[in-house]
Amino acid sequence: MERKEAKIAEAKGKLGVLLPGLGAVATTFIAGVAAVRKGIAKPIGSVSQIGTIRLGKRTDNRVPKIKDFVPLAGLNDLVFGGWDIFEDNCYEAARNAGVLDKDLLKQVQPELEAIKPWKAVFHKDYVKKLDGKNVKTGKNKMDLADQLREDIRKFKSENNLDRMVMVWCGSTEVYIEPKDDIFKTLAAFEAGMRDDHPSISPSMLYAYAAIAEGVPYANGAPNTSVDFPAMVEFAVKQGVPVCGKDFKTGQTLMKTILAPGLKARSLGLRGWFSTNILGNRDGEVLDDPESFKAKEVSKLGVLDYILQPEVYPDLYGDFYHKVRINYYPPRGDNKEGWDNIDIFGWLGYPMQIKIDFLCRDSILAAPIVLDLAIFMDLAKRSGMHGIQEWLSFFLKSPQVAEGLYPEHDIFIQLMKFKNTLRHLKGEELITHLGLEYYD
């Protein structure tokens, strides 16, 4: 069957990257892009910059870089802006975060100092462990969203931008289950904003402002932000791509790599105990039980969806799964994710796997911010709108259409991601069947 290439607008001009939250992740991302631009470092971990894609048969030897296959915004085209509750410019914020060494930061200091945070929409009811003075005030939540929209328009105008994307890099908010009627329709949600409904969090206001301005929105935290009917309705109405949630880094990355392997070999699971120790602002925020609840829900769903206990009751029908996060200031951004996994094999004989991932949270997250920004821009230029499930590869708790379960297996996610790119360019989708080589 002959495939038809999608109409993809050129990636001309400047792409503005809007970042709610200019903390450890965002400043590591911005500093990294600046360092790559200067030839100081390489964009390790970025699929958009380093990843390749196979086209056609294995014997065709067509394996271009993804950035040479689809028209992506270049690193030199990116312009950064964002909001934060603290007044530090990006250089000061990066120094405080302590992720990157001082020598590297010195080499990109002018670029970072030029980025100063705009006043943020924030309330301690939603992130109880933080407090800052660089905060907007307004008569209601609709007024605050309108102020964010004005920031977006001003950023576009002052920097002569052609397009924009928004990637949430702010802290984890308290857990909000979108059950209220205000989440069901756009009209009800907008009425809730005007009435200052307590279930409408700051991240929702950022998402609303982005969609209202035609800006793709990706949610990098476990917040309830765009994953409810009213916001999906708004995104479709505006022709805006949205995706979320929670950058897939650290411990959950390991789970989505290892659990599919256990399932593939039909090995059983008795229990999976996960604990994390981390410092930095993220650890401090997650020390609050209500914020931890949002993260816990994001982390716990992974194994159930991958292992399908209802389909494999003998293997996974009764496993125990526990997740813990412990704030430990001396560790800073260098998180330790420790897993004890009790498995069983032939005739039910027990075995154990232990993982101690001494990871760097922001180092793993920064290239995801880059990739989500670049691929969400591609989605918009390709005429895609609403939920972008093909970007699940980058996320812990992928947003999907109502009635579907999310796909967590990282290898299936990668196939979905690359096949979407092939589809956009009119190339044959790859199934890895391979029978044609032997007929």
Q: In the prediction, which pLDDT does 334 show?
A: 87
Strand 320-327 with 336-344, pairing: unpaired
Name the nearest CA neighbour of 334 among 128, 28, 85.
Answer: 28
The CB-based long-range contact list for 175-183 (8 Å cut-off, 24+ gap) reads 175/224, 175/290, 175/291, 175/293, 175/294, 175/297, 176/201, 176/223, 176/224, 176/294, 177/224, 178/224, 178/227, 178/228, 182/230, 183/228, 183/229, 183/230
Cis amide bond preceding 380, omega within 30:
no
pLDDT tens, residue by residue, 347-357:
999 999 999 99
Q: In the prediction, which pLDDT does 301 show?
A: 82
Q: Are 192 and 216 in contact (CB under 8 A)?
A: no
Quote the strand ranges of 194-304, DSSP E. Answer: 217-219, 241-244, 268-278
Q: In the prediction, which pLDDT does 439 show?
A: 82
Q: In the prediction, which pLDDT does 2 show?
A: 65
Q: Are 235 and 386 in contact (CB under 8 A)?
A: yes
pLDDT tens, residue by residue, 238-295:
999 999 999 999 899 999 999 999 999 999 999 999 999 988 777 777 777 777 776 6
Domain boundaries, the chain: 15-247+363-424, 250-358
Q: In the prediction, which pLDDT does 1 show?
A: 59
Name the token pair of 98: 């302590």
The CATH classification number of 15-247+363-424 equals 3.40.50.720
Interatomic CA distance for residues 247 and 181, integer angstroms: 28
Name the token pair of 437: 């080589």
Task: Find where tokens 């090995």 sit.
Answer: 267
Helix (H) / strand (E) element for 304: namely helix 289-307
Q: Are 120 and 138 in contact (CB under 8 A)?
A: no
Low-confidence spans in the chain with pLDDT less than 70: 1-2, 294-295, 298-299
pLDDT tens, residue by residue, 142-166:
999 999 999 999 999 999 999 999 9
Q: In the prediction, which pLDDT does 348 show?
A: 97
Measured over the CA atoms of residue 386, residue 225, residue 15 and residue 149, the dihedral's sign is positive
CATH class of 250-358: alpha beta
Residues 6+ apart with CB under 8 A from 302: 252, 255, 256, 259, 396, 397, 408
Name the nearest CA neighbour of 344 among 314, 382, 303.
Answer: 314
